[in-house]
Amino acid sequence: MNRSNIMKIFMKNITTTKLNISSTLKMAVAMLVLSSGVASAQFSVLHSFTGGADGANPYYGAPAITGSTIYGTANLGAGGGGVVFSVNTDGSGFAVLHTFTNVAPDGYQPLGTVALSGSTLYGTTYYGGSGNGTAGYGTVFAVNTDGSGYQTLHSFTTSTGYKPYGAVIVDGSTLYGMTYYGAGTGVGSIYSLPTDGSSFTNLHTFVGGMNDGSRPLGGSLLLNNGALYGTTVHGGTGSAIGTANDGVVFSVNPDGSGYTNLVNFTGGTTNGANPYGSLTLVGSKLYGMTRIGGSANLGTIFSVNTDGTGYTNLFNFTGGTTNGANPNGSLTLDGPVLFGTTKTGGTSNLGTVFMVNLDGSGFNILHSFTNADGANPDGDLTLANNALYGWTSAGGVSNKGTVFAQGIGASGYAFLGQGFTNGISGNVANGGLYSSSTRSWPNGAVGTTYTNTSFALPVCDSVVQSRLVISVWGGTADYTCQMTVNINGTNLPAASPFVFGSTTFMNDAYNIYAPHAYGSGYGTWLVTLPIPGGMLRTDGGTNVIVISETTPDYFDGRIYQVTLAAVYQSSALTNVFDYAWAEGSADMGSYYGNPLQRTATLGPISTNGVTDASIMAVFGFADTTTGDTDPGTNDRLYFNGAQLGGDNVAHVDGDYSTTAAYGFGSVTFDGLTNLLATNTVTFSVGSDVPSPQETKLRYQFVALGVTRAAPSAGQLQITGIDATGAHLVWSGATYGNYWIESTTNLSHVAWSAVTNFTSTSGTMTFTDSTATNGASRFYRAKTQ
């Protein structure tokens, strides 16, 4: 149930007031759910532009997102002038906030996105301003997130730089941006502008040549530690044929002094050329992409230190169905992984959404555009709630572009068979972890259909994430197995059938939405299958799972254990539930007193307000040493260095004096005592294992669930009002995500976002710049 207390502030004769604000429990999930909206699929089209009143062809920059609302611009449509639009992250509620006209001083045809500050959107148009339509030289504009208050802050002229090809950034009360043309004979400019539109300043005019950039296109500036960083498409010291025209990475002080070329692109097979997008800062390194250059002349991913040292060509795009080509945008960071788009490449050569590790390894296409769902993305991605949001400049229902969401759901990646990956992590309001395992077929008949009716989740509202984990033994890994899984009368999409063998899936990058088989040359496998939302019962009833294994060769495919792990959401709970699980495989044993171990890193997990934590682990082994009468002895499990369950967690009873032993098990432990912000689970084979040594395959699946008290929305204190707006201080818990919203009229409530933030210190100071003397405001605080 949503609850909120509303605070009204009259902007006259303000006295300091302190009020308790109760929380609004936001029932939306704080990660990519599998049960509704965009989360029902890995990729989803949120809106297809028609070229009419809704606009057409969004181009450069990243969507601006606050709460569940996306903001952006479309370059054409609506009479040719383009629009500012909003749409919800589930694809509902598309709205046009402003339609650009031919009438001065309005802008015309935005080629960059908008920047969000409080409840105001700031952006640029390529044409318009003091001259009508295409006769103008472009504008900087502002508009409120509800579509009101549109104003032209600045009309560009040929004397100060003009026609911006990208977005602005906001730093307090100052906007920074770039233009494609410069003053006089200049080839671009850098400018600053107060958010009220006064005192436009031309900070730098690009002149090209060996020591300067030329033609900034598509990107915005990056401000860090008192320096602005950016790229230009041309300029620099030279290229493979000796011309100064392959682009630069530059830095400049916010007052326009100290301009420096940090990178001069040279093209060719070992260097990039023509960067179109913005830069991404990770520590002291800048990451970006070039449109061409590299080994196939189809673009690169690069990194360079902020002082210009350490330039590295991390990745070369090569095109084709399994790679991208010609990136026109920027990179988005999530943990150790970068995400981006390419304009071409992929299965239809219409562009891709991709991921790659910070060191350039692990490149993987998350989505190949097909035209029906979009084509030729030129813009950037924004990460919110474990999904990536972006747009394409073409494709969709009318071939006018789309707004899309790409689910990721994973905070870390590794290669199967080579590492142990933190596969899924997130948090959900009012959630819990269900896990249950059943043994089966210890010596069952080959090919028999397996049916299980013991899995019954608690009564809940929805299933957020779920995975079926199946331990399989049979034959050798050179054989092929195919497995069909039916849940409650419907075939599981990931297994209808799922085919795996010795090489299939062993080197795929981890994908939350894909099935995986972990194993190697001992004939034992761990199969993990994603379950879409809606397939599992949420009424407390039993889930009927039927597994049919068929083999085209001699793989006998005996199923030893089936585990169901699920994160669910229930309105009967009042908490914040964090979770992370991992899966992987590799050979592990103890070779003559030389112990081996494998560690999974789970997290990050917030430790604030934790009331409960549990660890569930699934493991398996194949002891190929005939005569080991006590297999699994001295196999150990550790959580953050503390041993759990004694020395024999993988121990299996039985007489294996004349046969090899295959064991599969699962255990659950309380993890509250040793819980950390980043947690490790280690499987170990002890050094004291007696001869014969255990030399066997291990695979593992680990799930961690942490329950935290739901944070209250805290307190708001009004400290005063002046010409800059109303000043407020929020205080509350040191964890949780919060939204502050305001409205001017409760009789017709239309709440506008003032700010949103993640609490780390328990205090937040902010200013509502839209509040003025003589007006009144109602405020509310919401927490997730």
Spell out the residues 6+ positions from residue 532 whose beta carbon is closer than 8 angstroms to its own: 34, 40, 493
Domain boundaries, the chain: 7-24+712-783, 56-205, 420-709
DSSP, collapsed to helix, strand or coil, labels residue 657 as coil
* Predicted pLDDT of residue 24: 25
Among 175-179, 252-256, 257-261, 552-556, the range scoring the smallest mean pLDDT is 552-556
* Predicted pLDDT of residue 680: 80
Q: Is the pLDDT of residue 624 over 80?
A: no
* Predicted pLDDT of residue 574: 87
The Cβ-side half-sphere exposure at 585, using a 13 Å CA radius, reads: 26
Residue indicated by tokens 């020395």: 647
Global pTM value? 0.55
Residues 618 and 595 sit within 8 Å (Cβ to Cβ)? no
CATH-assigned architecture of domain 56-205? 6 Propeller (2.120)
Sort 651 into a burial class: Cβ within 10 Å, 0-12 / 13-18 / 19+.
middle
Q: Is the pLDDT of residue 266 over 80?
A: yes
Give 189 or 495, the one with higher predicted confidence: 189
Q: Is the pLDDT of residue 233 over 90?
A: yes
pLDDT tens-digit profile of 596-612?
566 777 767 778 788 89
CB atoms under 10 Å from CB of 27, counted, come to: 15
Pairing of strands 83-88, 69-74: antiparallel
**Among residues 386, 390, 363, which one has the least CA distance to residue 374?**
390
Among 89-103, 308-322, 702-716, the range scoring the smallest mean pLDDT is 702-716
DSSP, collapsed to helix, strand or coil, labels residue 777 as strand
CA-based Rg of the chain, rounded to a whole angstrom?
29
Q: Is the pLDDT of residue 708 over 80?
A: yes
Token digits for 645? 């369950």
Say if 7-24+712-783 and 56-205 have the same CATH topology.
no
CA distance 531 to 542: 16
Residues 227 and 251 sit within 8 Å (Cβ to Cβ)? yes
The DSSP symbol for 8 reads: E
The percent of residues in the chain predicted with pLDDT above 70, rounded, is: 76
CATH-assigned architecture of domain 420-709? Sandwich (2.60)
Give 138 or 712, the one with higher predicted confidence: 138
- As a CATH number, domain 7-24+712-783 is 2.60.40
Average pLDDT over residues 519-537: 76
Q: Is the pLDDT of residue 446 over 60?
A: no
The percent of residues in the chain predicted with pLDDT above 90, rounded, is: 39
Average pLDDT over residues 418-441: 73
